[in-house]
Chain A
Amino acid sequence: MTGYLGTFALAVGFLAALASIGLWAREATRGTSIAAARHGACLMLMGAAGAVAAVEWALLTHDFSMRFVAENGSLSTPLYYTVTSLWAASDGSLLLWLLVLTVYVVVVALRRPRAAERLHPWAMAVLSVVAAFFFGLVLFTGRAFDSVAAPAGGGPGPNPLLQDHPAMGIHPPLLYAGFLGLAVPFAFAVAALITGNVTRRWLDAVRTYTLVAWVALTAGIVLGAWWSYAVLGWGGYWAWDPVENASLIPWLVATALLHSAMVQRRRAALPAWNLSLAVTAFLLACLGTFLTRSSVVVSVHAFADSPVGPLLLGFVAALTVGVAVLVLLRTDRLGPPRTIGPLLSRGSVLLVNNILLTCLALTVLLGTLFPLLAELLADRQVSVGPPYYNRMAVPIALVLLALMVVGPMMRWQGDEPGRLLRQLAVPVVAGSLLVTVLAFAGVHSASALAAFGLATTVATMVAADFAAGVRRVRVSQATGWLRATRVCAVRRRARNAGLVAHLGVAVAVVGIAASSVYTVSAEQKLAVGERLSVSGVTAELAAVDRSRTEQVMSTAARIEVIDGATRTTTEPELRFFPAHGMTVAGPAVLSDLTGDVYLTLLSVDESSRTATVRLAVNPLVGWIWAGGALMALGGAFALWPRRRTRPGAVAVRAGEPEQTLEVVPR
């Protein structure tokens, strides 16, 4: 019964999406608002929500006659992980995907941007096409709602790795919110190509939704990194796995877009470039989904093979062809080119930033797909992994850090080297001072030194910039420090947001550099009472405990960790899930500001009562999570609605070109 309701809801959503395409196209060509189109959007949301609710209901009531529950539910899974089971397998996760997508559809449909009447219906039509495709995909290939003979005693439950950590409930929805948020800029970009209209309003819409998507993606990626750090048991947070890359590539492109959007906003330059970034970001997100859902690449995170793969590939290809044809017909309507400003200006720095970010995205994409290329062209099996990516990404990341120092302090209309040097003095001296101290303190890795130095420079620059702003307010308004700080925090909101995000990057870079260069570890077979020491931290095996529940057989090593004067008892575990024949590591992590003590139980020999233990000291890992949080926070600040400016107030900024670029179609 529940299954039929779910299928019905999907069918309703599918039809609503199809109808919406027509309605919005009609509204776009007629120029009059059609209420039914908005109802169509709401109906889509209801369809997706209904399907999700049907699966959730079946999961929670243990209705094992529904295929998805029979395959992914179990009687013994805790409530939280029963709810999250929805996205533990391909079929259900596509339902979540649909739900997130339709939420965006409804939000965009109801939040009609002012003065973008011609763009909005086209963008909605494009979004409806995307929604119709995914509804069709789930409706016609998904088998979640099939009825099956209920297995006695319930199903096996979700994959053990997916019922082991609370991040399961947040990470996938965040990533989907990120990927699908990019569908909105895509839709607006296609609308701009159709109407030849790349106005300030277009840019606002693109920027807002890119920012939403970027915040979600940033949070999702960092959370995912933390999750693999806490669960996989080797102390790593980023493995350059194809599926991880698939989320990083759209993130890089979205980051580039957020920066180049500023250039268009201030100088009306690069509209075509922004448009291509907006299109590419979503296409790459779809490509990433394709990689995850077809066994094209090998990955820990991949879903099992399904017919979804070829269809997704076809969809991405069709969208690309469509956009290419539009570009063919319409690029000449995007308006005359504008310059980005003199060589020493913010515009130039942002352009260089864009070149670097897109090159990095291209490199990661190339590395991810290269094994396929090699197999097809040379019939050779090749693997591309961390050494390649690190070698390519580290230099680019360092240059980007350097740009973060100079970029925000440059003026749009150009700058003299003298003024720049004066402004640079304090941050650069701070950075090189740190490098000197660290070098004498025994930090020898050149890339780590560069990362620490540049990160310090960025952080000092951010602090100096804010301090200068406060001082200016204090002088001009003759107020106290406190009030000036408040005024500065509110008035320069957009700038502060960017600076906070930059600060987050600097903090995260410090964590990444320290933990990847200065992690020390040792693994050893310990008998009870024996000790293992790594850089001043000692682990002593106290006992080996075994326990079993209905679902899991756990083996835990009770280990005393002696770090200076403190003694802590930890219990790294090995959890074996008989229903899946799978062992999951349960490392023990002791964190503080300076780093983590990371203990993994590798194996236990029952007969001799010994345990093989890996002890690692990972310096400054916590800084990565803190940096990620700061980045997402910066993005969220930028989203904070600004105070409405009075109409006409925009145009009075002196010395800047006209902001809008409306070109009447021929």
Chain B
Amino acid sequence: MRADRRRRVSVVSAVLVLLAAFVVMLGSGMGSGTGVAGRSPLVDNPAPPLAGRTLDGSKFRLERLEGSVVLVNVWASWCGPCRDEMPLLAAAQQKWTGSGLEVVGINTRDGPVAARALLRETGATGVRSVLDPDGRLAVAWGASGVPETFLVDRSGIVRARHVGPVTEQWLRQHVPRWLGR
């Protein structure tokens, strides 16, 4: 009978240990809903190809900008936050263009009319945008949504990724750092 009891104690304590581990696991996961948009595997790797027609009809290739720091921004006119961030990007272009910053948009799943209208309304007509009607480029860049911004350094390596509308703070934190090198 005693052996039986000991066995039962060990079984139940094993269950309790498992339970404790389980609770720790669930507890640790609380509030940290895991999304896909973690760190991008692109960061610190060469930038994917980016080439095509721009909104104003000219041809564009990212390789031609090697030597400049490039902000690649995935946007569309149907996305509300894009409208909000566009003036920031235009301002960034103006501010750092002398130090070698280029801002390039990927205008994804959008119509050129609506896209041009948005640029006009936000005063960002200076921002070049590559047309991406079927979303191929945005996907090739691993964009998890719109808007999303990548920073490519002077040697063509992706250095940073920002999900959602860019903030002035993010720009200040990353752009001068890579311009300075």
Q: Which residues of A contact B (CB under 8 A)?
A: 290, 294-298, 305, 309-310, 313, 317, 320-321, 324-325, 327-328, 331-332, 369, 371-373, 375-376, 381, 383, 581, 603, 605-608
Contacts and interface: CB of A to CB of B under 8 A. Distances in A.
A296 B80 contact: no
B26 A327 contact: no
Given A324-B12, A607-B113, A607-B114, A381 B28 contact: no
28 contacts: A294-B30, A294-B31, A295-B31, A296-B30, A297-B33, A309-B31, A313-B27, A313-B30, A317-B23, A321-B19, A325-B12, A327-B12, A328-B12, A332-B4, A369-B25, A372-B25, A372-B26, A372-B29, A373-B25, A375-B29, A375-B34, A376-B29, A381-B36, A381-B38, A383-B36, A603-B109, A607-B113, A608-B111
Q: Which 6 A-B pairs have the closest CB atoms?
A: A295-B33, A372-B29, A328-B12, A296-B29, A607-B113, A324-B12
Interface in B75-116: 78, 80, 109, 111, 113-114
Nearest to B27: A313
Contacts of B35: 298
Contacts of B114: 606-607
Nearest to B35: A298
A310 B25 CA distance: 12
Contacts of A603: 78, 109
A372 B21 CA distance: 12
Contacts of A607: 111, 113-114
A607 B112 CA distance: 10
Contact of B8 (A296, A298, A331): A331
B8 A328 contact: yes
Given A332-B4, A372-B25, A376-B29, A324 B34 contact: no
A373 B15 CA distance: 18
B30 A310 contact: yes
Contacts of B28: 372, 376
A298 B25 contact: no
Given A325-B12, A332-B4, A607-B114, A305 B19 contact: no
A448 B31 CA distance: 40
Contacts of B140: none
B34 A381 contact: yes
B115 to A, nearest CB: 11
Given A296-B33, A327-B12, A369-B25, 6 more contacts: A290-B26, A296-B26, A296-B29, A305-B31, A313-B30, A372-B26
Contacts of A324: 12, 15-16, 19
Contacts of B113: 607
A298 B38 CA distance: 14
Interface in B1-29: 4, 8-9, 12, 15-16, 19, 23-29
Nearest to B9: A328
- B interface residue count range (under 10 / 10 to 19 / 20 to 34 / 35 or more): 20 to 34
Contacts of B32: 295, 375
Nearest to B113: A607
A296 B24 CA distance: 12
Contacts of A371: 34
B163 to A, nearest CB: 14
Nearest to A612: B109
Contacts of A320: 15, 19
Contacts of B29: 296-297, 372, 375-376
Contact of A581 (B23, B31, B34, B80): B80
A325 B16 CA distance: 9
B19 A317 contact: yes
B55 to A, nearest CB: 14
A298 B111 contact: no
B122 to A, nearest CB: 19
Contacts of B31: 294-295, 305, 309
A186 B129 CA distance: 62
A310 B27 contact: yes
Nearest to B20: A317
A298 B30 contact: no
Contacts of A317: 19, 23
**B4, B16, B35, B78 — which one has the most chain A CB atoms within 10 A of its CB?**
B16
Nearest to A374: B34
A376 B25 contact: yes
Contacts of B36: 381, 383
A155 B77 CA distance: 28
A218 B32 CA distance: 31
A324 B111 CA distance: 63
Contacts of B78: 603
Contacts of B19: 317, 320-321, 324
Interface string B38-50: 1000000000000
A480 B161 CA distance: 79
B24 to A, nearest CB: 8
B30 A295 contact: yes
Contacts of B80: 581
B34 to A, nearest CB: 6
A581 B78 CA distance: 12
A317 B109 CA distance: 48
A298 B34 contact: yes
Nearest to B4: A332
Contacts of B30: 294-296, 309-310, 313
B75 to A, nearest CB: 16
A294 B33 CA distance: 9
Given A317-B19, A328-B12, A372-B29, A605 B111 contact: yes
B73 to A, nearest CB: 21
A290 B31 CA distance: 12
B111 A321 contact: no
A315 B30 CA distance: 15
A465 B115 CA distance: 67
A369 B24 CA distance: 12
Nearest to B133: A525
A376 B23 CA distance: 12
A652 to B, nearest CB: 37
B63 to A, nearest CB: 31
A310 B35 CA distance: 21
Nearest to A295: B33
B40 to A, nearest CB: 12
A445 B35 CA distance: 34
A313 B111 contact: no
A332 B1 CA distance: 10
B23 A313 contact: yes
Nearest to A583: B78
A371 B25 CA distance: 10
Contacts of A294: 26, 30-31
B39 to A, nearest CB: 9
